[in-house]
Chain A
Amino acid sequence: MIPELGTFSLILALLCAIVQGTFPLLGAHRNHYHWMNLARSAAWSQLVFVGLAYACLTVSFLSHDFSVRYIALNSNTQLPVIYLISGVWAGHEGSLLLWALILAGWTGAVERCSSAIPQEMRARVIAVMGLVSTGFLLFIIMTSSPFVRQFPIPLEGNDLNPLLQDPGLAIHPPILYLGYVGFSVPFAFGIAALLAGRLDGAWARWSRPWTLFAWTFLTIGIALGSWWAYNELGWGGWWFWDPVENASFMPWLVGTALVHSLAATEKRGVFKAWTVLLALFAFSLSLLGTFLVRSGILTSVHAFANDPARGVFILIFLSLVVGLSLGLYAWRAPSVRSTLVTSPISRESFILINNILLMVTTATILLGTLYPLVMDALGLGKISVGAPYFNSVFVPLTAPLVLLLGTASVIRWKQDRIKRLLWILTPILLISFVIGVLWPVFNMPHYSSVAIFGVTLGVWTFATAVVGVWSRTSGGNRWRRLRNTPSSFYGMTLAHIGVGVFAIGIALTSAFSVEKQVRMAPGDHQLIGGYDFRFDGVIDVRGPNYLAQRGVITVLKDGLPVSRLEPEKRTYQIQRNPMTEAGIEAGLMRDLYVSLGEPLDDGRSWGLRLYLKPFIRWIWLGALLIAIGGLIAGFDRRYRLPSGIRNRSPGTVTTPSVGM
């Protein structure tokens, strides 16, 4: 009964989405008030029905309704409750439903928060989101309904993939989707503005907070995925350039470009057409990401489904979205008049360089990700593009970006003098370089140019950010000036510091990690980077739905125990898959990481991975700072539109003259 209710609500949600995607659009075109007004009720009813369908699936999971095929495949009576709830998005069908729910949620949020935006614009934005939603709901109903029943009803479910039974991965997909789907908002704003033929500063101002929030979620989502891979895959890596990771990283890069160019468009009225194009790209790449991950064409842990009908549908949907939006862009964008960039030495020019670097980086990653697929499709052989490719193109493209980023906090809009910039920045660069050289010398075991380079860049971003805040608030009462500085400036500062922390983390981890794979019998010692790892043996333990062998490793430094690590090799009872659970002692300066390999000599000794990972936490700490920066910037007071300007035309919205 409940699954059927779910199917019915999905169909009702689809009908709402169709109404939401058509009438307001026509209404905006013909200036028909009531049709435009339909956007509101259609959007809310769609949210209610998708939410109901989602609730139905969750309830069926909680009540172990194995007559539903999706639940039988992804659940089990012994599964802990948290994984029953997260099991809803463990597979293809459920994660699409989650996608649709999040899209409906963003639509509701836009509806709720945009009462100050002219009705015509609002109707168009909601309608475009309704059209996207129509596509997704059609996809779910036609090819991938999670509510399909099966007979005979199995007594027990197939269990959730053990890899997904981890708190980090339980929240990774929803957060990632919040980011992916969130880019539909700037996309919808962009399409609406193109349709209206009105791309102005107000448009950029409306899209900016939404873009920032979506981008923040995407940042956290990617960082969580990386953190999970480090914990769960058992080989201590944090980024593999796996096609699926690239699929989420490309929209992030374009989103980053968009966040910056929106700032320039809002403040200075420059790059209007370019900014819209970025908004279209960011969402298109999010869709491409879904296609890559969910179509099953990739050799990947994420590719659960392998159904050609789905691939074809997403491909058609993707080409429709990309084709129509780019077509509209080609038709409308030439009439857009941007303000000219007055000087090559200005914040807007530097943002342009930032955008070019980010887009070129995206293009090279896209090339490496799609190249094997294209070669395969053309029958030119099966190939794989390895991580060295991505590293060798990524680093030379992003290092100048980080250097450029340091100038952001001090350079002025419109026109700046190169002499002034050099006067401020040269000493900072020199000091950063000195610290970059000294840090590894004092803190680290050996010389490494990578470390010097990374630490220099990291200190550079930090120092320039601090100097930026200082020089911005000097003259007059410093406290008052600090208070009056808009939070978007603090957000930018924090995010830029985050990039520096991230760079230091990557550089030190890759330069000074010690990794050993060894065979150890109980009582054996291994010395790794000054730490003495003693293997004390393996004991059997029983978890809620698995059996595990737990290794015990004592880590000593100078003869004194510093840590006891307990990596596990779990066997989940239903799927019988072994799973490696690493034993990690996390620290700000270093992680000690041990994972169990396989038993050797009939269990008398074990293969073990023993890693020492300096500063690896800084990678996720940096990502977290970047995300918090995005959040703070998104909550800037200036974006909270006062309702007083509700009925004025967007052209009259005044732009405060304070900085970013």
Chain B
Amino acid sequence: MTPRRRQRLVLVGLIVVGCTIAIGLALLALRENINLFFSPSQIVDGTAPSNTTIRLGGMVVAGSIQRGENLGVTFVLTDLAEQVTVAYEGILPDLFREGQGIVTQGKLDSTGRFLAEQVLAKHDETYMPPEVNDALRKVMAVGQ
């Protein structure tokens, strides 16, 4: 084996080992950190798993925002077909308001309430998160 070949072999070996470790790490980390997106309909019909971190998106139902103790708040999200009550503790984003499409991240409890750890609303009042938009469109298509 020429020195050049040997060096190339060592290099390739190093890269393979590095990539294997990295891919292993990455897949392990991915498995624990992928959050699936669900619509209120999927929560109600039982497609969504409970006690796993998932994302739920929909429109905030008018008049559904209720303040509780401290910074506790509950509101209802809809995809125009079904509704899910969301509970959250903390400050809501600037653009959180009635009729706005938002995405929340959290867990579904056994009573069918969604306990949000994060509420995301993007900075544009005409903006609708693509996931929410798709979910709404699906409902509209079924309705026609």
Chain B neighbourhood of A382, CB < 8 A: 36-37, 55, 131, 134
B64 at the binding interface (Cβ < 8 Å): no
Chain A neighbourhood of B25, CB < 8 A: 364, 392-393, 396-397
Q: Using A357-B18, A360-B22, A577-B123 as known contacts, say yes or no to A389 and B33 having CB atoms under 8 A apart.
A: yes
Identify which of B3, B25, B92, B105 gathers the most chain A CB atoms within 10 Å of its CB: B25
Shortest C-beta distance, B144 to chain A (Å), equals 22
Chain B neighbourhood of A300, CB < 8 A: 122
Q: Once the chains bind, are B18 and A356 in contact (CB under 8 Å)?
A: yes
Q: Once the chains bind, are B36 and A578 in contact (CB under 8 Å)?
A: no
A383 at the binding interface (Cβ < 8 Å): yes
Q: Once the chains bind, are A600 and B67 in contact (CB under 8 Å)?
A: yes
Q: Mark B1-38, 1 if CB is under 8 A from A, else 0.
A: 00110010001001100110110011001101111110
B26 contact from A234, A367, A576, Cβ within 8 A: A367
Q: Mark B63-78, 1 if CB is under 8 A from A, else 0.
A: 0000100110000000
Q: Once the chains bind, are A577 and B34 in contact (CB under 8 Å)?
A: no
In the bound assembly, the distance between CA atoms of A353 and B14 in angstroms comes to 9
Shortest C-beta distance, A172 to chain B (Å), equals 16
Shortest C-beta distance, B107 to chain A (Å), equals 14
Q: Once the chains bind, are B67 and A384 in contact (CB under 8 Å)?
A: no
Q: Once the chains bind, are A607 and B71 in contact (CB under 8 Å)?
A: yes
Q: Using A357-B18, A382-B37 as known contacts, say yes or no to A301 and B26 having CB atoms under 8 A apart.
A: no
Q: Is the interface of A mostly helix, strand, loop or mixed?
A: mixed
Classify chain B's interface size: 35 or more
In the bound assembly, the distance between CA atoms of A340 and B5 in angstroms comes to 10
Chain B neighbourhood of A162, CB < 8 A: 123
Q: Once the chains bind, are A393 and B22 in contact (CB under 8 Å)?
A: yes
Q: Which of B33-75 contact A (CB under 8 A)?
A: 33-37, 55, 67, 70-71
Chain B neighbourhood of A608, CB < 8 A: 91
Q: Once the chains bind, are B91 and A385 in contact (CB under 8 Å)?
A: no
Q: Once the chains bind, are B35 and A386 in contact (CB under 8 Å)?
A: yes
Q: Using A384-B35, A388-B32, A598-B91 as known contacts, say yes or no to A360 and B18 having CB atoms under 8 A apart.
A: yes
Shortest C-beta distance, B139 to chain A (Å), equals 15
Q: Which of B124-138 contact A (CB under 8 A)?
A: 124-125, 129-131, 134
Q: Once the chains bind, are B22 and A517 in contact (CB under 8 Å)?
A: no
Q: Once the chains bind, are A364 and B91 in contact (CB under 8 Å)?
A: no
In the bound assembly, the distance between CA atoms of A386 and B36 in angstroms comes to 11
Chain A neighbourhood of B70, CB < 8 A: 518-519
In the bound assembly, the distance between CA atoms of A32 and B52 in angstroms comes to 68
Q: Once the chains bind, are A364 and B129 in contact (CB under 8 Å)?
A: no
Shortest C-beta distance, A265 to chain B (Å), equals 15
Q: Which 6 A-B pairs have the closest CB atoms?
A: A597-B91, A382-B37, A389-B33, A360-B22, A392-B29, A578-B94
A-B contact pairs, 6 of them (CB 8 A): A162-B123, A352-B11, A360-B19, A578-B94, A578-B95, A597-B91
Binding site for A on B (CB under 8 A): 3-4, 7, 11, 14-15, 18-19, 21-22, 25-26, 29-30, 32-37, 55, 67, 70-71, 90-92, 94-95, 103, 105, 122-125, 129-131, 134
Binding site for B on A (CB under 8 A): 161-163, 234, 299-301, 340-341, 352-353, 356-357, 360-361, 363-364, 367-368, 371, 381-386, 388-389, 392-393, 396-397, 517-519, 569, 575-580, 597-598, 600-601, 607-609
